Chain A
Amino acid sequence: MARKLRILIAKPGLDGHDRGAKVVARALRDAGFEVIYTGLHQTPEMIAEAAIQEDVDAVGLSILSGAHMTLFPEVMRLLREKGAGDILVFGGGIIPKEDMEALYKMGCGRLFGPGTPTQEIIDYLREKFPDRT
């Protein structure tokens, strides 16, 4: 039986703008995925631990505070350190193109800026995990 796609959606750091994260979480649920939503004010450590305990396929970070160049790499580093470097890290928010390129070079998954249709995120995840439903 094909496994369901399991995604962790998290708001790292102090940023409290969760409209996007909640909309994406709902959209993923409506696409049939299981979404673990961790809420606000998560440290990278908390996110990495949750991702491992829940054995998610991917972690989606939403950052609108400008702190993305610190938070994305830190989450990726912690996952690798804990033996879960294969968990995909992707995300969205307010991230200049230049920074997106830099994060991609570090191994980050796709970053979705404002205006992205939710279907695009769903398609991306389905494409990344073809053996999941």
Chain B
Amino acid sequence: MNEYEEIRREKARWERCVDKGDIGSFQTVSGLPVEILYTPLDLTNFDYLRDLGFPGEYPFTRGIRHNMYRGRLWTMRQFSGFGTARDTNARYKFLLAHGETGLSVAFDFPTLYGRDSDDPMAMGEVGKCGVAISSLEDMETLFEGIPLGEVSTSMTINGPAAVLWAFYIVTAEKQGVPSERLRGTIQNDILKEYIAQKSWLFPPEPSLRIITDIMAFGAEHVPKWNTISISGYHIREAGSTAAQELAFTLKDGMTYVEAGIKAGLDVDTFAPRLSFFFNSHLDFFEEIAKFRAARRIWAREMREKFKARKPESWLLRFHTQTAGCTLTAQQPENNIVRTAFQALAAVLGGTQSLHTNSMDETWALPTEKAVLIALRTQQLIAEETGVINVIDPLGGSYYVEALTNQLEQQAYEYFKKIDALGGMVKAIEQGYPQREIAEAAYRYQKAVDEGRRTVVGVNKYVLEGEKLEIPILKIDPRVEEEQRERLARLRQRRDNARVQKVLLDLKAACAGKENVMYPILEAVRAYATLGEICGAMKEVFGTYAEPPMF
């Protein structure tokens, strides 16, 4: 107590000499007010062993591995996909050759919605913002020449996740790789679809059932696979604050754990395979604090609330993507720098896997040159900056620890609000998180419009009469035609009687209690298409309509 008294006095003395200044916003990007200086006085309740502990041990605030990056760097995993499977296969080989250490698949919109490339609603969208995968054949082409037993692959897919996963598993099967050896992730986070990304298929209840089926199947047959990537990235991209991203993501996670337990699974069988996906946004320190708070909160909830017994169930593993929504169309080269800062924050925050955005993504999908710079950004951090030498180097910083505490507190306030509404699913039905996010997005834009928030190149340091001087990726317009032809040939070649049968079996399984993964795999082996499989499931499960909220 005595040492604090003296510091308090000295600080008061110092404050009297301080001209508070008028530059900067005195707030984090999320609107959290921050002091000019942080001292031990902001951490009078700080207990090192309780609040931080050691890396690789509860509560994992400083990191989830004992030796972190000294033992293993984060995976450099660039989210990619465009055009046909062949086009994307070439891009994957390019990235692997240049030092990428993990694959990440970006699917086009029709695929994300469980529709084939020749579906009427797919018109104009095939291959435009990701790769078009309508069948097992497409998946086989996507990974041709890439040994699935030796890479880890992340697939950003939600509504139809079970089907795309089945395509992958069977593709590996055909390569001679048993499912037990497969490593990777499927995003499969339907709750955030309802909140932010909006690429859902079925209503919440059947969606949760499919997720628990996937978790059970994974635990038994694909033990090295992350069956869910509980995501905050999209929530942040939709306009939320850091605290909302943290709170809604972790609450989604807790909802899945509850669903798994309710389905009769032992929490320690599936919890170690839950993974997370966060955004790395503009405010350098707020983001680092957010990652640390996430680990601490999750560890506590898993151990205390859900009574998980294995340490592997307590630790929060996450992938990070730098914030797409902060990139500008104006002076796109600046985006390289923004991405570098955001990537650094993710590394200092202890991420297990990282995607860095390319500078041209406000105009189109990345060119080879742009994605290479993005990849090099990560390699530069790893090889040249020295930050990997020490675990959680910002630990102990008065500011970062205070900020970590604050974000944690805010998250718990949100948890209370959501519980009062009856849990996350009910909160989503009532439009609560969606409204919070839309309002935060609006406030942010107003601040930019009114000049209270600076965006370099957009409302300050603007280049008049700017000419775009970077190359832009163009998707070959023939992609849609090509896919249509491929599908037509496939439908002719295959055993259509068998396809009919497996789809009927699938519908029966959906209506009953059988794990849907088994009939889906059968359907995939028979070369039923994505659209056909999802169509069959939709007949039983119905579709979802968004609650109108503005």
**Is A18 interfacial (CB-CB < 8 Å)?**
yes
Q: What is the 8 Å Cβ interface bit string for chain A, positions 1-45, against chain B (1 contact, 0 not)?
A: 000000000000111111100110111000000000101100100
Given A65-B129, A115-B330, A117-B449; A13-B109 close (CB under 8 Å): yes
Q: What is the 8 Å Cβ interface bit string for chain A, positions 106-130, against chain B (1 contact, 0 not)?
A: 0000000111011100000000000
Interface residue stretch chosen among B118-126, B149-157, B267-275, B284-292: B118-126
Q: How far is the CA of A114 from the CA of B113 in the complex (A)?
A: 25
Q: Which of the listed residues B112, B129, B238 has the most CB atoms from chain A within 10 Å of its own CB? A: B129
- Cβ B238 vs Cβ A19 within 8 A: yes
- Cβ A37 vs Cβ B550 within 8 A: yes
Q: How far is the CA of A23 from the CA of B325 in the complex (A)?
A: 14
Q: How far is the CA of A5 from the CA of B363 in the complex (A)?
A: 30
Least CB distance, B88 to chain A, in whole angstroms: 15
Residues of B within 8 A of A70 (CB): 123-125
Q: Which of the listed residues A19, A26, A67, A119 has the most CB atoms from chain B within 10 Å of its own CB? A: A19
**Is B128 interfacial (CB-CB < 8 Å)?**
yes
Output the nearest chain B residue to A70 by Cβ-Cβ distance.
Answer: B124
Residues of A within 8 A of B365 (CB): 66
Least CB distance, B357 to chain A, in whole angstroms: 13
**Is A94 interfacial (CB-CB < 8 Å)?**
yes
Scan residues 204-220 of chain B and give those whose CB is less than 8 A from a CB of chain A: none
Output the nearest chain B residue to A40 by Cβ-Cβ distance.
Answer: B198
Overall SS of chain B's interface: loop
Residues of B within 8 A of A26 (CB): 442
Q: How far is the CA of A117 from the CA of B445 in the complex (A)?
A: 8
Least CB distance, B474 to chain A, in whole angstroms: 8
Q: How far is the CA of A25 from the CA of B438 in the complex (A)?
A: 11
**Is B421 interfacial (CB-CB < 8 Å)?**
no
- Cβ B237 vs Cβ A14 within 8 A: no
Q: How far is the CA of A65 from the CA of B198 in the complex (A)?
A: 13
- Cβ A67 vs Cβ B364 within 8 A: no
- Cβ B329 vs Cβ A113 within 8 A: yes
**Is B409 interfacial (CB-CB < 8 Å)?**
no
- Cβ A13 vs Cβ B550 within 8 A: no
**Is A97 interfacial (CB-CB < 8 Å)?**
yes
Given A19-B237, A22-B438, A115-B329; A94-B364 close (CB under 8 Å): yes
Q: How far is the CA of A46 from the CA of B418 in the complex (A)?
A: 35
**Is A96 interfacial (CB-CB < 8 Å)?**
yes
- Cβ A14 vs Cβ B328 within 8 A: no
A18-B238, A94-B364 provided; 16 other pairs, C-beta below 8 A?
Answer: A13-B109, A16-B199, A17-B237, A22-B441, A23-B239, A25-B550, A27-B449, A39-B546, A40-B198, A66-B129, A66-B365, A96-B364, A114-B328, A115-B362, A115-B455, A118-B449
A-B residue pairs in contact (CB < 8 Å), sample of 20:
A13-B124, A13-B125, A14-B113, A14-B122, A14-B125, A17-B238, A18-B238, A19-B239, A22-B442, A27-B442, A65-B109, A66-B128, A66-B129, A66-B475, A96-B363, A113-B329, A113-B362, A115-B328, A115-B458, A117-B459
